[in-house]
Structure 1
């Protein structure tokens, strides 16, 4: 079952408004991948937003539970809820994908407690749920084999860490979770760059369409290098590429049939 074009377009609109960098990455991917990528990205954006549209913790919990229930219904083979994201998501990921994506909702429960700084030990699980698992679910829906799971989850987590580092000033200014004091930013960045390098060979093994979810990490390598060299940039908000460099990097990675470890990390 495939989603109607207008349903995919609605998800694309959500992604374009909520995460322009990911929107550009999807538009640089093969057309065949977009019916999978746009619903998954729209889902992750809606789930990320759910705890922050209210100041009432109980209401925030109910909003996240709504998404867990929607995923459970897909996983159990029930007809998806009439919703602009749920219906195309069900068509894109199927039962097994819906089961896996529950981790993305659970990982956001920590966002309900405003101002609480995440513990270093929790960051790994947060990145796995919010970034690693969605990337893997997308790749799986596009035909990736089970043996690629951990490498692609790790690759997604590296991209997620780069995005998290870049968002730290905004998170801190809004009273939301930020990095705990004393965290070793260079070590985290170095570990994430290693994950990018380890996952790079899958680009050629999977082919452009199946590996299209990996394009979402297109800015991760340079951002992680900046964080490793000058960790103060994380708090200062200096982790950004120029528009020209962003465009050049995305075009180069999208056009390449294989990525070297150096190219992505």
Structure 2
């Protein structure tokens, strides 16, 4: 039930966010690793079983964890207990955590999102919600929410676009009717521009929470340019972008 256990989970299951946390100051890692481990556990819950009912039960278990943590009844689990501490110590908004979990119900089933608005809401509740939670854990004021969520949405769109081939290989329909990957990339870049326009509202101390978006812009631009190659940055470009954002704090 230690931070080390959460770090190990993230290292094995979410290497991009692990690298982002390791590029952040040591003193904030205890806030970020439990949150990213929680997100990983929730994100993979629909994929570890072929039985929808079991997947629903796994997600409900995490919704119960969040609610019990909010009431002070922590659970003895390697991720649930540190998450409880975050909720208690930093006042993480329980409703944002709950929406993040509930949104993952879409991953259980094979139906596409109802429309573009449905996908937008999914990205807002998952990726944008996660980035706002990370920012809150580092002390972000309420006034920073719009900028952080816009950046989180753009990041979620980029990662979703990168996952499209894998989702299709699993028999899912990631793109709703009437929305192309090109259009989603354009919307992501628009949200990125909105985030940058409001960047002054985000304190510098919160910048490590936004390191998870270090690949956002180039992935979106790759998707906008089209082509059949998987969305991916070269190892050199990955290291360069992460280090640049870590050292400058600019996103």
| TM-score, length-scaled by structure 2 | 0.92
Q: Which residue matches 1:248?
A: 240
Q: Which residue matches 1:10?
A: 5
Question: Is 2:54 the counterpart of 1:59?
Answer: yes
String of CA shifts for 1:67-91, please: whole Å, max 9, x gaps.
Answer: 0000001122x22100000111111
Q: Structure 2 residue aligned with 1:32, among 16, 22, 27?
A: 27
Q: CA deviation at 1:224?
A: 0.4
Q: CA deviation at 1:202?
A: 6.0
Looking at structure 2, the residues matched to 50 and 161 of structure 1 have their Cα atoms a distance apart, in angstroms, of 21
Q: Which residue matches 1:87?
A: 81
Contact kept? 2:143, 2:201, Cα under 8 Å? no
Looking at structure 1, the residues matched to 30 and 202 of structure 2 have their Cα atoms a distance apart, in angstroms, of 18
Contact kept? 2:148, 2:202, Cα under 8 Å? no
Looking at structure 2, the residues matched to 36 and 202 of structure 1 have their Cα atoms a distance apart, in angstroms, of 24
Q: CA deviation at 1:237?
A: 4.7
Q: CA deviation at 1:192?
A: 1.4
String of CA shifts for 1:7-45, please: whole Å, max 9, x gaps.
Answer: 111111111111111110111111122111111111111
Looking at structure 1, the residues matched to 173 and 63 of structure 2 have their Cα atoms a distance apart, in angstroms, of 22
CA RMSD of aligned residues (A): 1.8
Question: Is 2:171 the counterpart of 1:175?
Answer: yes
String of CA shifts for 1:137-170, please: whole Å, max 9, x gaps.
Answer: 1111211110111221121011011001001111
Question: Is 2:117 the counterpart of 1:117?
Answer: no
Alpha-carbon distance change, 96 to 253 in structure 1, aligned in 2, over 3 angstroms: closer
String of CA shifts for 1:47-78, please: whole Å, max 9, x gaps.
Answer: 011111111111111111000000001122x2
The answer for unaligned runs of 5 or more in structure 2 is: none
Alpha-carbon distance change, 203 to 251 in structure 1, aligned in 2, over 3 angstroms: farther
User: Which range moved further: 101-110 or 183-192?
Assistant: 183-192
Q: CA deviation at 1:121?
A: 2.3
Report 1:208-227 matches (<5 A). 208-227=204-223
Structure 1: which 4+ aligned runs deviate by more than 6 Å?
A: none
Contact kept? 1:218, 1:249, Cα under 8 Å? yes
Alpha-carbon distance change, 237 to 83 in structure 1, aligned in 2, over 3 angstroms: farther
Alpha-carbon distance change, 205 to 28 in structure 1, aligned in 2, over 3 angstroms: farther
Q: Which residue matches 1:145?
A: 141
Looking at structure 2, the residues matched to 187 and 56 of structure 1 have their Cα atoms a distance apart, in angstroms, of 33
Q: CA deviation at 1:194?
A: 2.4
Alpha-carbon distance change, 177 to 130 in structure 1, aligned in 2, over 3 angstroms: farther
